Amino acid sequence: MSTEDLADLADGTLPPEAVTAHARSVAARWGEDRVLDDETELAAAERVRHDPLVDLPLLREDRMFIERCVVGRSDRHDLLTEYRRQWLAAADAEGSEIRRDNAARRAANAWLRSAAACSG
């Protein structure tokens, strides 16, 4: 959006059709992996919003366990989002880079086991 469009958006005078057209053009570009440099962070956040686990170093077994715990649940996305938060918090708390992924995996899986009342 131009500077003028952004100003109009801020004061509420940009027509809804213009906002819709812009959103569609951005979505089309992103769908073709044509993300502008200043949109890279937004694109990463959007990928995480759709799949909270997208950039976690999960093992095949992790994915199988997670799917068993969340399959068919209406709160699936909320569980996955919190799983990610638990993983990242545990990874940040682990001082050893060698042990970081395993510490994160253990913490996130333990949380999910408890929150979703699943076994595994």
pLDDT of residue 1: 63
pLDDT of residue 46: 62
Q: Phi and psi (nearest 5°) for 56?
A: -80, 145
Is the distance from CB of 102 to CB of 57 less than 8 angstroms? no
Percent of the chain with pLDDT over 90: 47
Q: What angle (nearest 5°) sits at the alpha carbon of residue 15, between those of residues 14 and 19?
A: 80
pLDDT of residue 34: 80
Q: How confident is the model at residue 6 (pLDDT cuts 50, 70, 90)?
A: confident
pLDDT in tens, 9-29: 777 787 878 777 777 887 787
pLDDT of residue 42: 66
Q: How confident is the model at residue 119 (pLDDT cuts 50, 70, 90)?
A: confident
Residue whose C-alpha is closest to residue 108's, from 89, 100, 54: 89
Rounded to whole angstroms, the Cα distance separating 67 from 63 reads: 6
Distance of CA 22 to the CA centre of its chain: 23
Q: Could you say which DSSP state residue 14 is in? A: S
pLDDT in tens, 42-100: 655 565 567 889 889 999 999 999 999 999 889 988 999 999 999 999 999 999 999 99
